[in-house]
């Protein structure tokens, strides 16, 4: 598609920032709407993307937003629409990790994880998907996790949220497949980002964020006759 509008949530670091760089570098005329709460980091990512876009008829803009908050999402969506018009690609990448067992987890902690990882996908999709369906074309990528396929001790809130993303993605696929909107759920294993700093896990055991980002681009570039419903990505050297 010529000059697609691509919305990326959680774009201030890690996989989201890598997706922004990959699309900026390889999709001619792309218009990037970068969304995150940390507007300072988001501005840094946007400047890097802008350098890659220079002279290629493309654009990048940032939108501060708490994607777990309904009013914040509505304000962001209106701003994106005013700046770029209709959205062609939605990448629901925003998320949050906190480890805790069921018996130790507080209700507030559980609600934070559900909000950041699952409610955010619902709210942002509600904001942009109807426009895609009305135009008969679009791509939605929902970021789940290996934790959305295999549960583990200490993942009470995070696994519950990511399993929810898996289920919501399946529903979206079933409802949107006749409307020209492709839905892909992505399940990455351990991917290096600042959030892993201090974890004790060696960087060499993880996937680079750029590899995960390229998977999004490759799926997007397939003809409209094909949809990749799910992608599972794991580090070659481990089962993280």
* The CATH number of the domain covering residues in 5-233: 3.40.50.720
Residue boundaries of the structural domains of the chain: 5-233
pLDDT tens digits, 96-146: 888 889 999 999 999 999 999 999 999 999 999 999 999 999 999 999 999
pLDDT tens digits, 8-66: 999 999 999 999 999 999 998 999 999 999 999 999 999 999 888 776 668 999 999 99
Of 163, 67, 167, 154, the closest CA to residue 104 belongs to 154
As a whole number of angstroms, the distance between CA 227 and CA 148 comes to 20
List the alpha helices (DSSP H) in 27-155.
39-53, 70-84, 107-114, 120-135
- Of 152, 158, 187, 220, the active-site residue reads 158
As a whole number of angstroms, the distance between CA 67 and CA 87 comes to 17
pTM of the model: 0.94
152 is catalytic: no
């Amino acid at each position: 598609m010529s000059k697609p509008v691509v919305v990326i949530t959680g774009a201030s670091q890690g996989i989201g920032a890598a997706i922004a760089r990959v699309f900026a570098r390889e999709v001619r005329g792309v218009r990037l709407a970068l969304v995150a709460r940390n507007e300072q980091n988001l501005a840094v990512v946007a400047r890097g993307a802008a350098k890659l876009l220079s002279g290629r008829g493309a654009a990048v803009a940032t939108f501060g937003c708490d994607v777990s908050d309904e009013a914040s999402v509505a304000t962001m969506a209106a701003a994106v629409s005013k700046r770029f018009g209709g959205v062609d690609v939605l990448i629901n990448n925003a998320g949050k990790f906190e480890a805790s067992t069921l018996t130790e987890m507080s209700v507030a902690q559980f609600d934070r994880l559900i909000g950041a990882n699952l409610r955010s996908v619902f709210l942002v999709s509600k904001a942009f998907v109807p426009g895609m369906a009305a135009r008969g074309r679009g791509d939605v990528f929902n970021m789940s996790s290996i934790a959305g396929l295999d549960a583990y001790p200490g993942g009470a809130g995070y696994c519950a949220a990511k399993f929810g993303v898996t289920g919501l993605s399946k529903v979206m696929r079933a409802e949107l497949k006749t409307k020209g909107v492709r839905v892909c759920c992505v399940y990455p294993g351990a991917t290096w980002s600042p959030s892993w700093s201090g974890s004790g896990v060696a960087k060499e055991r993880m996937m680079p964020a750029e590899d995960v980002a390229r998977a999004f681009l490759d799926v997007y570039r397939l003809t409209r006759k094909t949809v990749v419903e799910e992608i599972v990505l794991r580090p070659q050297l481990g089962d993280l």
